[in-house]
């Protein structure tokens, strides 16, 4: 395991060496005043003081939710098929707001949480299981064809996927091979992939050095 689980870290531990794919933001932008954590345009998970004020179990839940965001897109037909089925919630015309079966201010947030729940082994509507079977794998598992990688994915994001797979017990070379193949298939530049692999190796080397102290 190349680092202590983030949900168990104090803020000081996180700041001393932020794991790949994550960053801390001291002051929230106006649009995120009510957010505890979110995924930015570089696919990095942004953590705030509010995140570190929560218990480790709450932090694990929050991180699971943010990771699940990468698995869905409102631009896909299946998203709207599930959203409009009535299985995950409905739009209340009297109150003029979305009401999801597990909360969420809109269908995307509700579906994201349902995928998070499914990954934890909880029961979710069959419509979700049927439409997103390829995305519902336990956190850390990597499968060619469904890893959430885009052509603009950053090195730190790719490094995070590799490290999370290693944390879950996957062999490092296998994790690198899967991420490399999937990245190349969606047009991620070779230089970006190389930078990600180097970031992982540096992080593992630093971890091993600390273990010797």
**Digits of tens for pLDDT over the chain (213 positions)?**
556 788 999 999 999 888 888 999 988 877 767 789 988 877 789 999 999 999 999 998 899 888 888 788 888 899 999 999 999 999 999 999 999 999 888 999 999 999 988 888 888 999 998 888 877 765 545 544 455 677 777 888 888 888 877 877 788 898 899 889 888 888 889 999 999 999 988 888 877 777 666
pLDDT score for 208 = 74
pLDDT score for 127 = 92
115 located within any domain: yes
pLDDT score for 53 = 94
- Residue-wise pLDDT for 53-83, tens only, equals 999 999 988 998 888 887 888 888 999 999 9
Residue 128 lies in domain: 73-134
- Residue-wise pLDDT for 34-52, tens only, equals 789 988 877 789 999 999 9
37 located within any domain: no
174 located within any domain: no
pLDDT score for 211 = 67
> What is the tally of structural domains in the chain?
1
68 located within any domain: no
199 located within any domain: no
77 located within any domain: yes
Helix (H, G, I), strand (E, B) or coil at 136: coil
Which residue from 70, 72, 108 is spatially nearest to 89, judged by alpha carbons? 108
80 located within any domain: yes
pLDDT score for 137 = 65
pLDDT score for 140 = 47
pLDDT score for 86 = 94
DSSP 36: S
pTM for the full predicted model: 0.68
106 located within any domain: yes
pLDDT score for 144 = 45
């Amino acid at each position: 395991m190349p680092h202590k689980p983030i949900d168990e870290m104090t803020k000081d531990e996180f700041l001393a060496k932020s794991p790949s794919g994550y960053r801390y933001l001291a002051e929230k932008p106006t649009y995120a005043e009510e957010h505890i954590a979110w995924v930015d345009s570089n696919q990095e998970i942004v953590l705030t003081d509010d995140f570190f004020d929560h218990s480790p179990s709450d932090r694990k839940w929050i991180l699971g939710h943010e990771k699940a965001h990468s698995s869905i897109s409102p631009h896909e037909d299946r998203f709207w098929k599930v959203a409009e089925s009535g299985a995950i919630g409905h739009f209340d015309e009297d109150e003029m707001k979305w009401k999801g079966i597990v909360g969420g201010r809109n269908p995307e947030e509700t579906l994201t949480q349902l995928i998070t729940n499914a990954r934890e082994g909880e029961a979710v509507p069959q419509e979700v299981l049927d439409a997103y079977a390829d995305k519902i794998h336990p956190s850390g598992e990597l499968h060619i064809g469904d890893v959430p990688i885009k052509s603009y994915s950053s090195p730190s994001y790719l490094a995070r996927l590799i490290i999370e797979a290693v944390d879950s017990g996957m062999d490092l070379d296998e994790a690198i091979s899967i991420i490399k193949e999937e990245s190349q298939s969606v047009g991620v530049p070779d230089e970006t992939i190389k930078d990600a692999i180097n970031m992982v190796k540096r992080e593992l080397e630093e971890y091993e050095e600390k273990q010797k102290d």
